[in-house]
Every structure is written in C-alpha cells, then in structure tokens.
A and B are shown apart, each in its own frame.
Chain A
C-alpha cells in the first residue's frame, strides 16, 4: 500500500516539471509518402529518452524535424517553452539542440580541435579581420576532451588517425560542449565494437549526470533498457506507445514495435 503511494508522489513530482520538448500532432509527407502521422511525444529535462521502431518507422524523420533538417507539414514542436520553426540545422544549434549524426560529421583531414570548433571558431578581432585564436581553441579542446571516458589522442592529431570509438567520442564531445540543452544521437554505437560501445555508453550517462537531456535512436534493445529513462515506440509513422523504461521489459517493447501488442 505504501509503495504505490510513494511511486504516485514521485510521478506527480515529475509531472510538475515541464517537458523540455513536446511534439504535438506532427505530420510530415514526402509527396504521397506519409512519413509521420500525428506524432505526439515529449522529452523530460535531464533524462535519456529513446525512440525505437523498425526501419522506416519514421524515427530519423522525426529527429530531423527537431534538428532543423525537415520542417513538419503540420503540428508543432515546443522546445524549452517556445514553439520552434527551424529553417536550418544552424537554427537548431543556436536554440540549443545538437545532433550527433550517424555519419559522424567530422572532417578527417582536420585536427580534433579544429573539428570541435568547426564553424564556431574563436577569433581575435584585428580591425575588420578575425584572426583565429588557435592557442585558446587548443587548450579549450584539451579541457573538453579530458573529461571524456574515451581515450582520445592529442587534440592536434588529425581525425583520420582516430578509431571509431574515438571519433564518436569527439562527435559527442562537440555536441555536448557548447551549452546545448538537448543532444540528439542517431545510432550512437552502431559502428562500434563491444568495448568502445561500453565506453560511449558511459560517456552518454555522464552527459545525463551533467544535466543534459539526451535523445537516442537505437536498434539495440539491451542498450535502450540500460541507458534510457523513457522509451517511445514508433510504428509506420506513428508514435504508438510511451513507457517508463523502469516499468517495461524488452519483450513488451519488441511486441509494441512489431504490433503484436497494442498500446
């Protein structure tokens, strides 16, 4: 009798916190293909939220609406209390939404610090000309990288020399490094080995403990169960269910994805 009571109180407590991001009745069509149909879901601040679903369920499309690549045909997305209308990924970044892309979006021929500060370079104004402040960027990059659970070689080495896990760490570091409020990760460990996956997961958990909200798309159910606080299930362009991770099982999630179980 006491247990449900405390649970209820914590639940109502979490309800009092405003969601960081609310997707309301969002639809998006590409020609005759309806990629998203009336999607509703929300992300709480300071939590890891996972979106799962089969290939083509609309996960990536939905995430691209949040990161400014697509614009919904209808419906609204409210972020941090205000409806968003991003025209480009740049707008999303300025609002505080960072995306770690599946293809990592690093320039191999540039160094780690150059990648960390790409299009955010620190400059010293010399009249009308901005001169790169290389020293400051290097030392800042050093500091950003030193907090990583993953061993990254000197920030002056080129990304070409980095392993998959190290690259992923640099990508995540870049996304988390600039006072972002929400970090979106599309399949953050898909290309990694077992040990590297473990370290990247450790890194993701550290971001949460630092107060970042994180949204991950993953095909790896074990990972979703390990990492996330909240799971949303998508099927055929709809968001069909939402569960607190602690109150569901891998079996239930699989059943929801395949449609064997109705929400």
Chain B
C-alpha cells in the first residue's frame, strides 16, 4: 500500500513540475500579451505616426506643447476615474464636480481671497463632494451608477445656482503663468498632472490602501473576509476622484481665464474613455496609472490630429466613441 501511495504522490509531483516550468514561459508571454494594458501606448504611437505622415506640423514643437497643455486636465480626471473603476465602480459626476469646484474658485476670487486659498477651496469642494458620494455609495450601499448620476445633476445644478449662470473672470499673474509657462516646451499644467499621476501610481502600488482598492475590486467577499472595510475603500476612492476634479478645476480656470459653470460633458466621456483605453478592468481588480495616462494623451492627440487635418469638429465625438468601443472590444478578446 505505502509504496503505491508514494508512487502516486511522486508521479503527479513530477508531472506537476512540468506545467509549472511551461507556465512560467507562457506566463511571461501572457503578461506581455496582457496587451489591453498596452493598447493605449501602442495606439498612441500608431496615431502619432499616422498623423505625422498626413500632416508634418503634427509633431512641431508648438503643436506638441498645445497637445500636452490640453491633455493635463484629462490626465487628472483619468487618474481619479481609475481609482473608482479599479473598485468596480464608475464616477459619472467627475466632470460636473470639476465644474462645481471651478465655480467655487470663482466665489473665492470674487471675495478677494488669495489665489492660494481659491485653489484650496476648489480642491476642498471637490473632495467634499466626492466624500459625500462615497459615503452614500459605501455606507448606504446604493449603486454607484445612480449616486454619481444624481451627483452629476446636483453638482452642475449647484454650479449654476452659486454662479447665477455667470462666469467670473480671473485675472491673476499666478494663474496666467500656470497656464502659459513651463519647463521648456512642457507647460506647468501637464507637469502638475504628471507629478500627481506619479504620486497616485505610488499610492496604488506601494501603499496598503492601493492594495486594498485592488482587492476590493477583485473580490469584495475575499477582501471583507480578511477584514478590509469595503465601505471605507469606496468612500476613499470617490474622495480621490473628487480631489482630482478639484485639481483639474484649477487647471481649467487657468486655461479658460475664468470660472464658469460650463457643462464640460466631453470630459466625463473622455475620462471613462481614457480608463477603458488604459486597459483598466471595468469590473474592478486590475488597473495601472500610466496606461490611462497614455489613454488621455491618445484621446487628446486624436482630437488635435483630426482638427489639423481639417476634419469638422462634429466628427470628433464619433471618432472618440468609436476608439473607446474598439478598445473595449479588444480587451474583451484578451480573455
């Protein structure tokens, strides 16, 4: 009896070792072909090459400068959206929260606050609005889709009420320099956005909080069984999205030169689009930061390139929508 059992255990151990060996090779292959993550950078590269061939001004310094400046706001929103989507949620209110934060910036400015305090007010407004939504979603256990859809409506309504529908022109040397200066051809907005993205990359992959975000998105039950509070994680990610909306609002005010209650709907669609292009799993659990950032750059390059080619602005939403659905399809076939 005992020799047969030892033989039985020895045999699967030996045959078990072989697949492990093979797996490590196929694993490396698979992690490389984890290419939904690579869709955005590769797509960006292809797009840049195509547009450069079609129009040689595409890669001129001036145009690169313009594209980076235009991408900064979207990068910030995409980072915020990534944290939410990593838990399996979605923040439909992110662009409206930005609008509300921008309007609050204008309120501070109108009350003769210093620019620093106005910026702080914008970020605090965004984070409080995000926190409120997070608490309702996490503690109240209400579907994120509904809460943030309501949030979208409330934030844009509040922005109109508070501003009375009027823009506040912001004249400030600091804001002017923020939007026009930079290091070389790289403007401050995109430097700010990339530094923030880098910090939040660290948060996602090098802190306990980041691991718990991915765990909560990957399997709520498993996360809960190890004592992770799902409610707290959800509250936190919507707050992160709110903070990003607040930071984006500062860049928006600097760019426009005014705090205005505009709808900014294209930022909502594009932030979700950048996340999808970035290969972040919409059911949660898998995410990177750098890939959605590339997604944001890709979308900006797409809009910019189409404009350079003289394609009517009306076609741009169609192009963005098509690219996003295509990316989602590619991600689907990865499985």
Contacts and interface: CB of A to CB of B under 8 A. Distances in A.
Interface of A: 88-90, 93, 99, 101, 103-110, 114, 118-121, 123, 129-132, 134, 151, 153-154, 157, 161, 195, 198-199
5 contacts: A88-B227, A107-B218, A108-B218, A153-B24, A157-B23
B218 A110 contact: yes
Interface string B202-245: 10011110011011011101110111100000000000000000
Contacts of A153: 20, 23-24, 27
Interface stretch (B8-16, B150-158, B295-303): B8-16
Contacts of B286: 109
Interface in B118-137: none
A153 B223 CA distance: 23
Contact of A107 (B205, B222, B227): B222
A120 to B, nearest CB: 8
Given A151-B20, A153-B20, A199-B9, A121 B208 contact: yes
Contact of B214 (A101, A110, A195): A110
Contacts of A104: 222
A118 B221 contact: no
A128 to B, nearest CB: 11
Nearest to A151: B16
B285 interface: yes
Contacts of A134: 206
Nearest to A104: B222
Given A88-B227, A105-B226, A118 B16 contact: no
Contact of A119 (B17, B214, B227, B285): B227
- Chain B, interface SS category: helix
Interface residues of B, number: 33
B321 to A, nearest CB: 28
A104 B215 CA distance: 14
A132 B106 CA distance: 40
Given A108-B219, A118-B226, A132-B205, 6 more contacts: A93-B227, A118-B215, A118-B222, A119-B228, A121-B208, A132-B207
Given A89-B225, A90-B227, A151-B20, A157 B27 contact: yes
B207 A118 contact: no
Contact of A101 (B12, B23, B225): B225
Nearest to A195: B12
B208 A123 contact: yes
A118 B223 contact: yes
Q: Which of A88, A104, A132, A161 has the most CB of B within 10 A?
A: A132
Interface of B: 5, 8-9, 12-13, 16-17, 20, 23-24, 27, 202, 205-208, 211-212, 214-215, 217-219, 221-223, 225-228, 281, 285-286
A215 to B, nearest CB: 17
Given A93-B227, A105-B222, A110 B9 contact: no
A89 B219 CA distance: 17
Contacts of A151: 13, 16-17, 20
A101 to B, nearest CB: 6
Q: Which 5 A-B pairs have the closest CB atoms?
A: A90-B227, A109-B285, A105-B225, A107-B218, A109-B218
A144 B307 CA distance: 58
A198 B226 contact: no
A132 B222 contact: no
Specify which of B9, B207, B219 lies most central, judged by the most chain A CB atoms within 10 Å of its CB.
B219
B219 A107 contact: yes
A43 B26 CA distance: 46
Contacts of A120: 226
A131 B206 contact: yes
Contacts of B214: 107, 109-110
Given A119-B212, A119-B228, A105 B207 contact: no
Contacts of B217: 109
Contacts of B206: 131-132, 134
A85 B24 CA distance: 46
A93 B228 CA distance: 12
A195 B8 contact: yes
Contacts of B227: 88-90, 93, 119
Nearest to A133: B206
Contacts of B9: 195, 198-199
Contacts of A121: 208, 211
Contacts of A198: 5, 8-9
B290 to A, nearest CB: 18
The winner among B12, B23, B223, B225 for most chain A CB atoms within 10 A is: B225
A199 B16 CA distance: 12
Given A93-B227, A107-B285, A161-B23, A130 B207 contact: yes
A38 B226 CA distance: 30
A105 B221 contact: yes
Contacts of B285: 107-110
Contacts of B219: 105-108
Contacts of B205: 132
Q: Which of B5, B23, B218, B228 neighbours the largest number of chain A CB atoms within 10 Å of its CB?
A: B218
